[in-house]
Structure 1
Amino acid sequence: MAVETSQTNDAVKQTDTAGTKFTPTNLTASPPLIQRPNETWTTVLSSPCPFPPEIFHTIMQNLIKNPNITSSHLFRADIYYDSGATQPPSFDAGEQNDDKSFTRHLQPQYRPHSSGLNGVDGYEVTRTLVRELIPRNPLLDPPLLQTCHYLQKSDKHREWNTVLYVPHIDSGESMPFYHPAVAKVAFTHTWPLPSTPPKGKGEEEDSEPAGSISISYSLFKEDTQVSTKLERTALRLLQTLHKHGKGQLAGYEKRVHLDQVIPQKRYQDRYTKLKARFGRQLSEQWVEVTDPGKHVFEDLGIAAFLIELWGDMFDISEQGKDGEVGGATASGSKTEGKSPFPGFVDIGCGNGLLVHILLASGYKGWGFDARRRKTWSTLPATTQAALHQRLLVPEIFLPETSKDQENKPPLEPPQNEKEEEESQQQEKSWHTGLFTPGTFIISNHADELTAWTPLLAYLNQAPFLAIPCCSHDLSGARFRAPPTTKRARTQQKQHQNQSQQHQHQQNQNQNHSQNQDQNQAPPHLPQQHPPPPTTKTPSNPSPSPSPTTTKAPHGTHGPHVPQSPETGSLLRTTQQKSQPSAYATLCSYISSLTSELGYEAQREVLRIPSTRNVGVIGRERGCLGASGVGGGEGNREGIREGFREEEREERKRVILELVEREMGRSVEEVGGKWIERVQMLGRKPGCGH
């Protein structure tokens, strides 16, 4: 909702004076702001605020749709009904429940409950919503249906806007833990209206007082006073409202956008099922020294995302057991025109939990890592058979004498006792990175393998999910990843040069045209000649540069770079402050590698307990549907059948050229460094991940 300019400017002026700080005042002993004959209302807290009603409405709309902001026990809110701000309120506010009501199509439990304030004391309902609060742990707390009303009233001097929460519950004993045990909760915002009579010429302009926000409770009949717990809850709610309002007033813009690939509801519902099935068991049998809470629930979150992603990309109706995979299909994914699930491989699988969760959920696949983990021995035998200790050495790094078929490890996990025995003998051998074409590649905090993930996917004509963590180049060495590949930087530079040349040519043509116009202009009469321009000769023929600019270093070219003033230590310029972090550039670099190899790179900020939570999804352009979420013309079965050895050799050549271009060295030199590092890595003890 747009903010009115006049009121916003007035509010900005007040941010440095009145109402800037959060200063709550206890009003439990004062008369309540809301009074009803048959209801016990208490105004708990109030605080000055600098933001206008438009910002209050924006903040409250965000809190209604995202209740997890004020309660960590909640996942989200599902909106079942919204009258809209322009709908006639009389039939939308729960005042009528007959056949003429606009909500007659809803089931009775989803129909709005009356505010009890419409038309009382000048209040008018302007909007009504019905939401369901979804808890994180449904085994502890049930969901809660709730009606949210927007009410408004005004007089000559002030405007009151109230957002009222009405739980669909009749007693405090039935109220879930995450909601205050009251019949209603009211958020009230007051704001001064502009003075109509203008001030006289000699009169001083009095500063308008700031607005205010307050929290009020309507208690259940069995309650007589507000408890200490309810006061603490009101303080948290009011503080959150004040903080978010000040942020919006200061121009806050959301930088991280979640749920761009998989809708929030689908992901969280899937995560809740996986958590109920695996969470407690995996946490109790944790044998690593690291925190089980982080690793277990992180892998559960990644598994939930993958299951929903695969439901969009593949036909998984024939997969799985215990109804788990079928449930993914039923969550909103159609199967027409999709190929069967091709299986997965988790490169750098670490503790193996992600592989175990996916296998137990009915998805075939396997994983390998340079080092065994103690966790592997605690997992079921079927999972242990799918976990292998391997050192990945891409085939382009291997000498020709090592590329014969006898020395290669199998592309798939062993299928019989003989293959299992051979696999055990090769347990600490290498893997070439060549899988069954089309196999979905997972790279979860795989460190040295992160940058190689798009390359391996291209070699195998496969989709992938990469979750970067630490930055390593294609030789396995630590480095600060650039935001783009060398080819992308070269193309960008060429484009900039062409743009500059085009602009320079336009300027020359414009100057030439102006000169021609001046030469063809009629002569001026003597009195029409303008006086010659006066020029001031500077006292110093070689002025020193401005203190805010510096000359380019000797031997370099380019525009002057602004430098911040020195105050004992150099302050960071605006340009320096906007520099992306090392993790942000690493994610951009992986996306650039993905795009250079012909993939449609998508990025999703995952809902996992980790600061390294960006997932880069790579799907070949032909495998994207109209919505960009998979399916469409890309047929995986066709890919697997038509992927000939000649095409794979051509892809190897492309990868070889890319490695040499990015590293600036021959592939033999890069491969030597890689093999040296992975051998050292294999000798280190395994960690918790």
Structure 2
Amino acid sequence: MSLQNSTAVVVGDGGGGGGGGGEIEEEAKAGFEQENSGTVPDDDNNSRCTPGLDDQTRSTPQSRPGDKFEPVDIIAAASSHPSSGLPPEIWTLVQSAPANFTPHYFLEVSRNLLENPNLTASHLSRAELSYQSFTDASFNPSATHPHDLAKIIRHLKPDHQPLLVDGGVPGYALEWTVVRKLIPRNPKLDESLLQTCHLFTSNEDVVVRSHDGKAREEDEDEEEERTIKAERYLVVYLPHATDPDKIPFYHPKIRGLAILYTYHPTVSPGKPLGTLSLYYDLFPQRPLDNRMTRTALKMLEIIHKHSRGRMAGYQKRVHHDIVIAQKPFQDTYAYLKGKYCKGLIDAWVEQTPAEKHVFEDLGIAAFLIELWTGMYGGGNSAQESAEFKGEEMQGAERNEEIDLERANANAKAKAKTNFPGFVDIGCGNGILVWILNQEGWSGWGFDARRRKTWATFDSSYDDKLKEMLLVPEVLNLKPSSIDVDINVNESLATTHLAGPATHNGIFPTGTFIVANHADELTIWTPCLAFLSESPFIAIPCCSHNFGGTRFRAPRRAAKAAGAPLAENHAISAPAKPKGKPATQSAYSTFCSYVSHVTSLMDYVPESEYLRIPSTRNFAVLGREKQREGERVSAFEDRMAVVRGIVEKEMATSIEVVREAWVERGSGLMKPGTGSGH
């Protein structure tokens, strides 16, 4: 059940029942998996996507109970709790708390959690909806049999058909029904689980009882019973499992869960607007235990927190899955993690934390593989996933799923055949280069300083990982004759510097350029791509100018009208409380600056917040040109364009920029500089 799934991990037994995941999974929870909760790297303080309760209470005075999450004592408050209408012989009240938000926000949160159980479940990656009634014109909320619920139901596989609440819920009307599959992060440890989700609503008055303030708890005659107007919103989750032992670790061993929000539209001043309650339908052989109680408590806290955050006007700043859909990315990531993670961590030889770098590179590799499959395989993995995830999937049978898997495999094979190769500039430890080559994507990388990790790879990587300094051809005062018709794995040796090998940044046309936290090379990446007529991805980290010097980049907006960057507001200024001036971090302004340079190089800047264990997870992509019919075809003309932009941005001559770059580059090649990346 999406809402309690995560809490079963957060507050439950750490790894019992085959779902704990071992060291690798624990590291993932602290690293890569943290990103799925929506970490926002725009701010220096890494605020979360939903403001915390402490943030709310610090900025807003407590005007009434329910502003802050304060659960009540169920036993002491049982007599005064609003009537739920749920049969008490079936449903057990587990947790309750006053709440101050209108039903609209509770419903928004409930809808969002349907497809995103990962927001509250650390062992889940997502949910896939196999049926949803929101756009089904044949949906019949008064049905007493699943086949009568909608026309499509009888065509679904039996185990995907929705479960109904026997006899319905007295006094409530069914509003919508969803059947979903909960997808675990590590399918080798946890099974997926099908689940039916219903929303019931009621406008019937409710009965409450309260003491007059003088009576003791045992004096039942002193209680006052009264009827009040109320709106009730009940979300019910029913796992498709009749045996508690068949329910995965991440899901409590219960037959059903109900979350009730009782809203009082005519509440007295100083009283909470509503009551948030959670009920379990327990298996007879599985009585309520401490873990179940704590799970329910944590779940209510999360719902309260997100609902209050939405009511406070919070607007999400970070939008994942813009370029690549969540499903193909997470499936590929899970595959790569299962195949390479343990071996890479066990063989780690750098001084930096193994888990962070391994999970980060696995995540980037998964993103690139899906990106390249869409670019070179004749399809768009994001679009295909979105279409299959939508209404078409409601009638999908297993053979259609097999066809989709086969189509994806064929697309990957075609993409590898058409792939022009990649180069990872500033490749660091070389793990990303190694993973991609192991998966059949040919390419190489270089860095100003050799890393210990390179020696752990087999001898075939001697030609794929090179120690050399990049000195852009633009900075060459005596332009050389450039032949870009070379193999992708060949390097161009230049004579800009005496001593260490250097590269001029000119690559075979079409070579996909990767700059992953490449620091000094990041701002050069769009320029190098423009010169080589290649696509690229840049993942900014530290802010450096064209001379390689640390600086605070000016905030610039990408000029491409309608570019994805503008559409998803990926680097827009975060909302600030009234009365406080808006500020942007150095990282945020550098990201916007890289996008600005991308636009200057005539690319349509695309952006994505990658699901990796790093606050520096913003990626800028350049794949399409803004003006295809006006491309600068001559190499020397492209050189002139880049040289002019560099001089303008640096407000100095190209000779001065070259001197600063060479001085910085010489320092990078000294032993002991740089990091494990």
**TM class by smaller structure:** 0.7 to 0.9
1:107–1:92 distance in 2 versus 1, CA, 3 Å: farther
One of 313, 322, 345 as aligned partner of 1:260:
322
* C-alpha distance in 2 between matches for 1:169 and 1:41: 17
Amino acid at match of 1:665: T
Give per-residue Cα distances to partners, 1:282-310, cap 9 Å, x unaligned: 11111111111110010011111111111
Structure 1 residue 239 corresponds to structure 2 residue 301 = yes
Q: 1:20: which partner in 2?
A: 67
Give per-residue Cα distances to partners, 1:245-300, cap 9 Å, x unaligned: 11111111111111111111111111111111111111111111111111001001
Amino acid at match of 1:478: R
One of 626, 639, 642 as aligned partner of 1:652:
639
Amino acid at match of 1:484: R
Q: 1:603: which partner in 2?
A: 607
- List aligned pairs for 1:75-94, cutoff 5 A: 75-84=125-134, 90=140
One of 195, 207, 226 as aligned partner of 2:288:
226
Amino acid at match of 1:601: P
1:575–1:482 distance in 2 versus 1, CA, 3 Å: farther
* C-alpha distance in 2 between matches for 1:461 and 1:25: 64
Maintained 8 Å contact 1:394/1:433: yes
- List aligned pairs for 1:362-511, cutoff 5 A: 362-400=440-478, 403=480, 412-413=488-489, 428-484=500-556
* C-alpha distance in 2 between matches for 1:63 and 1:36: 26
* C-alpha distance in 1 between matches for 2:343 and 2:334: 15
Give per-residue Cα distances to partners, 1:595-644, cap 9 Å, x unaligned: 011101001010000000000001232799xxxxxxxx99xxxx9xxx97
Give per-residue Cα distances to partners, 1:546-572, cap 9 Å, x unaligned: xxxxxxxxxxxxxxxxxxxxxxxxxx9
Give 1:476 deviation, angstroms. 0.4
One of 351, 359, 363 as aligned partner of 1:297:
359
1:100–1:342 distance in 2 versus 1, CA, 3 Å: closer
Q: 1:688: which partner in 2?
A: 676
* C-alpha distance in 2 between matches for 1:177 and 1:578: 44
Structure 1 residue 134 corresponds to structure 2 residue 183 = yes
Amino acid at match of 1:675: V
Unaligned runs of 5+ in 1: 1-12, 196-204, 318-325, 490-571, 625-632
One of 64, 75, 84 as aligned partner of 2:114:
64
Amino acid at match of 1:613: N
* C-alpha distance in 2 between matches for 1:388 and 1:34: 70
Amino acid at match of 2:274: G
Maintained 8 Å contact 2:99/2:274: yes
Q: Normalising by structure 2, report the TM-score.
A: 0.74
1:281–1:356 distance in 2 versus 1, CA, 3 Å: same
Maintained 8 Å contact 1:93/1:149: no
Matched-pair identity in %: 43
* C-alpha distance in 1 between matches for 2:245 and 2:670: 59
Amino acid at match of 1:688: G
Secondary structure of 2:146's match?
coil
* C-alpha distance in 1 between matches for 2:612 and 2:432: 13
Give per-residue Cα distances to partners, 1:633-665, cap 9 Å, x unaligned: 99xxxx9xxx97xx1111111111111111111
Q: 1:616: which partner in 2?
A: 620
Structure 1 residue 96 corresponds to structure 2 residue 146 = yes
1:148–1:337 distance in 2 versus 1, CA, 3 Å: closer
Unaligned runs of 5+ in 2: 1-59, 206-228, 380-403, 561-575
Maintained 8 Å contact 1:73/1:136: yes
1:94–1:102 distance in 2 versus 1, CA, 3 Å: farther
Structure 1 residue 51 corresponds to structure 2 residue 101 = yes
Give 1:96 deviation, angstroms. 3.2
Give 1:331 deviation, angstroms. 6.7
Amino acid at match of 1:162: L
Secondary structure of 1:591's match?
helix
Structure 1 residue 309 corresponds to structure 2 residue 371 = yes
Q: More relative contact order in 1 or in 2 (CA 8 Å, sep 6+)?
A: 2
1:94–1:363 distance in 2 versus 1, CA, 3 Å: farther
Q: 2:341: which partner in 1?
A: 279
Give per-residue Cα distances to partners, 1:69-110, cap 9 Å, x unaligned: 111111011111111288565468673337985411211111
Secondary structure of 2:342's match?
helix
Q: 1:533: which partner in 2?
A: none
Secondary structure of 1:342's match?
coil
Amino acid at match of 2:181: E
Maintained 8 Å contact 2:179/2:196: yes
Maintained 8 Å contact 1:89/1:126: no
One of 115, 124, 130 as aligned partner of 2:173:
124
1:115–1:294 distance in 2 versus 1, CA, 3 Å: same
Amino acid at match of 1:664: A
Secondary structure of 1:234's match?
helix
Instruction: Note the aligned Cα RMSD (angstroms).
Output: 3.6
Maintained 8 Å contact 2:203/2:232: yes
Amino acid at match of 1:459: L
* C-alpha distance in 1 between matches for 2:249 and 2:456: 36
Structure 1 residue 214 corresponds to structure 2 residue 201 = no
One of 177, 185, 197 as aligned partner of 1:148:
197
* C-alpha distance in 2 between matches for 1:92 and 1:581: 54
Amino acid at match of 2:504: T
Amino acid at match of 2:240: H
Amino acid at match of 1:308: E
Maintained 8 Å contact 2:146/2:163: no
Q: 1:528: which partner in 2?
A: none
Give per-residue Cα distances to partners, 1:348-403, cap 9 Å, x unaligned: 00000000011011011100000000011112322333000010011122342x84
Give per-residue Cα distances to partners, 1:162-218, cap 9 Å, x unaligned: 1000000112111111111111011001012449xxxxxxxxx76665210011100
* C-alpha distance in 2 between matches for 1:575 and 1:52: 26
Q: Normalising by structure 1, report the TM-score.
A: 0.73
* C-alpha distance in 1 between matches for 2:86 and 2:577: 54
Secondary structure of 1:25's match?
coil
1:455–1:95 distance in 2 versus 1, CA, 3 Å: same
Secondary structure of 1:662's match?
helix
Give 1:28 deviation, angstroms. 6.0
* C-alpha distance in 2 between matches for 1:212 and 1:128: 23
Maintained 8 Å contact 1:348/1:449: yes
1:667–1:93 distance in 2 versus 1, CA, 3 Å: farther
Structure 1 residue 341 corresponds to structure 2 residue 403 = no
Q: Which of 1 and 2 has greater Rg?
A: 1
